[in-house]
Amino acid sequence: MVVFVATQATYNTIELASLWVRNYFGHFYLYLGLGCVLLLLGIAASPLGKIKLGKKNQKPEYTVWAWTAMLYSAGMGSGILLRAVQEPVYMRQNPPYPSGLPPEILSLEFTFYQWGFTAWAFYGLFAMIIGYYLFVRKKKVLISSTIENKITNKTARTSVDIMTVMTTVFGLVAAIGLGTTQIMGGINHISSSNFGLSATLFLTTIISTLALFSAWKGVNKGIQVLSKVNILITLAVLTFTFAQSDIPSVLRNFFSATLHYITDFIPLSLAYGSFDPGIDFLTEWTFYYWAFWLAWAPFTGIFIARISKGRSLRQLLLGVLIIPSMGTFFWFSVFGTSAFKLIEGWGKYNREFDGVFSSIFVFFGNYPYATFLNITTVILLIGFLVTSVDSAVFVLSMFSDKGKKDPSKKHRLIWSVFIFLAAIALILLGHAKPEVNVLIAAQKLLIITSLPFAFFMVFMAYLFLKELMGHQKH
């Protein structure tokens, strides 16, 4: 009720709080991100990496293809479409720091940094820990399972699970509200129309219904199938764009930017010396991304854990860190390099690719079959949003159904309806209060709620390492 009555004041409070978190804890997020990457690589390279999530002779429950499709659809999805052109071009036009590298390479390197190993390390840490307790220690699928041996107070453990549920709900509502608004923007761009609130509510209903259907069918018959379809369409769009591009330039930029990213990873991760873009740039970009990945890490990590039965810790960690990161790097190389070439051909840049939602559609407007590509992009945006929502609904259902790894359909229905109604309420609030960006405010709430998780991750990782050392001795 407070949000409806004092919308402007609430928005201002959220804005100030999110800036406070990024200003005072942004560098802590950087250290935490680097620490997660090094920890996961260390465990994967050590004898601990041999620990199997399940019985010793058990084969992985899902193939590498199915597993990768599901973790990628749940973990990133529509973001790579919306940022495919906009972010590399922004980084080229506004270099984060002076560098001797060609501007194209620097822009791709910094884009890789913000979408690469660190984001997946946040997800991978939760996936590893939850997967271990679920399949090795036979615990429930709850965040509190990771601390129950050390924290005997039931209220304290329950509060951790409640915090996880609230963060997941905020993330889902923001994703649906923002995602549907962006998709409607794409539809309006393609059709040169101006569909309004009714169309947005209708689209939200369709997405929520599809997500319910997918979650209702379960991981094997719902989420896995839709994730595979998403990735197949994404690969088709990528292949088409790659074939139309300056292929030697794309490959050269991909390998060069990847090499620089790997060799510069530690100073980049610490914003050290000449790799420091300054507090304003970090606050607007890197701190925001890190807080956002952290906020999505619990439910994404839990979902990845749920689909990783039969894999060793080494397979899980290296798979989560390397496979989606390399795919993302190639994606940004194709679209980024192609956008650079378009700008060179134009002779000057008039901010055509500045819009997050419109840049990909403007980009495809310069290619053959532009209308078909743009319609396909809208379908992909819907598909990725559905797979993010259905996996999160599945995780929420596991929480509310006593930590079962296959929650009852009643819980899936209840959570789907609740999330749908909350998203509708948020969209209506944004329409009723056009003077404030309610959807962006909801996203920024994630930055605030990610802070306690950041501290909890350190504690959780410490307890897990002690647990692993004990497991190794036995």
Q: What is the pLDDT of residues 226-262, one digit of tens each?
A: 888 888 999 999 999 999 999 999 999 999 999 999 9
Nearest to 365 by CA among 327, 392, 339, 344: 339
What pTM was computed for the model?
0.91
H or E, element range at 47: none
Residue 98: the pLDDT is 92
Per-residue pLDDT, 348: 87
Give the number of domains in the chain: 1
Confidence tier at 299 by pLDDT (50, 70, 90): confident
For 345, other C-beta atoms within 10 Å of its C-beta total: 8
89 versus 186: the higher-pLDDT residue is 89
pLDDT at 3 over 80: no
Give 197 or 379, the one with higher predicted confidence.
379
pLDDT at position 41, please? 96
Count of C-beta atoms within a 10 Å radius of residue 223: 27
Q: What is the pLDDT averaged over residues 304-324?
A: 92
pLDDT range class, residue 112, cuts 50, 70, 90: very high
338: left (phi over 0), alpha (psi -120 to 50) or beta: alpha
pLDDT at 433 (0 to 100): 64
Please say whether the beta carbons of 315 and 323 come within 8 A: no
Residue 235 Cα distances to 229, 239, 286, angstroms: 10, 6, 27
CB 280 within 8 A of CB 97: no
Res 22: pLDDT:
83
Amino acid of residue 92: R
Digit-coded pLDDT (tens) for 328-386: 999 999 999 999 999 999 988 888 898 877 889 999 999 999 989 999 999 988 888 88
The predicted pLDDT at position 319 comes to 93
**Burial of 288 by CB count in 10 Å (0-12 exposed, 13-18 middle, 19+ buried)?**
buried
How many CB atoms lie under 10 A from the CB of residue 298?
Answer: 29
Integer Cα distance of 377 and 190 in angstroms:
11
Residues 385 and 227: their CA atoms lie apart, in Å, by 11
The sign one gets for the Cα dihedral 59, 61, 64, 68 is negative
Write down the pLDDT at residue 472.
60
Q: What is the dihedral of CA 25, 28, 30, 32, to 10 degrees?
A: -130
For residue 52, the cross-strand partners are 312
Q: Residue 436 has what pLDDT? A: 60
Range ranked top by mean pLDDT from 162-171, 186-195, 266-275, 398-407: 266-275
Sign of CA dihedral 183, 173, 444, 28: negative
Residue pointed to by tokens 């997941």: 168
pLDDT at 435 over 70: no
Q: Could you give the percent of the chain with pLDDT greater than 70?
A: 95
pLDDT of residue 217: 81
What's the pLDDT band for 432 if we cut at 50, 70, 90?
A: low
What range does the domain containing 243 cover?
2-473
pLDDT band at 222 (very low <50, low <70, confident <90, very high): confident
The DSSP 8-state label assigned to residue 126 in this structure reads H
- Between 338 and 135, whose confidence is greater? 338
Average pLDDT (82-96) is 94
Give the model's pLDDT for residue 45: 95
Rg over alpha carbons for the chain, rounded to the nearest Å, is 22
Is 29's pLDDT higher than 90? yes
Mean pLDDT of 48-65: 87
Mean pLDDT computed over 196-218: 85
Buried b / exposed e across 175-192, counting CB within 10 Å, b at 16+? bbbbbbbbbbbbbbbbee
Q: Which of the residue ranges 37-51, 71-85, 129-143, 395-409 has the most confident prediction, judged by mean pLDDT?
A: 37-51
Averaged pLDDT for residues 112-130: 94
Please state, in angstroms and rounded to a whole number, the distance separating the CA atoms of residues 278 and 289: 16
- CA-wise closest residue to 340 among 371, 372, 366: 366
Residue 28 maps to which CATH number?
Answer: 1.20.1740
The per-residue pLDDT of the chain, averaged, comes to: 86
pLDDT at 11 over 80: no
105, 161, 70, 172: which is closest to 398 by C-alpha? 161
Residue 391 confidence (pLDDT): 80
